[in-house]
Amino acid sequence: MKDMTLGQARAEAIRRWGARGTIELHLPRSPRERRGRLARYRCIVADGAPGSPRSVEGQGETWREAFADAKPR
């Protein structure tokens, strides 16, 4: 199954959590940057802005994985 686009992921977050729905995409700063064993996943979805308290958060390598992982904290 094809993954969501950035716009589709944003729309899904707003559908699920209203105006508080947010998405984050973590891209490497350079091609040489390595991901450590405890690094966060590439896609993060949540019901609050970055840095604010969140009651729901999901992470994954794709948007679909992140939404499937989204659960109350």
Which of 14, 44, 52 minimizes the C-alpha distance to 26? 44
**How many Cβ atoms from other residues are within 10 Å of residue 15's Cβ?**
9
In angstroms, the CA 13 to CA 20 distance is: 8
DSSP 69: H
Per-residue pLDDT tens for 6-57?
Answer: 999 999 999 999 999 999 998 877 666 666 665 678 899 999 887 788 889 9
Predicted TM-score (pTM) of this structure: 0.80
> Is the pLDDT assigned to residue 71 strictly greater than 60?
yes
Mean pLDDT, range 48-71, rounded to an integer? 89
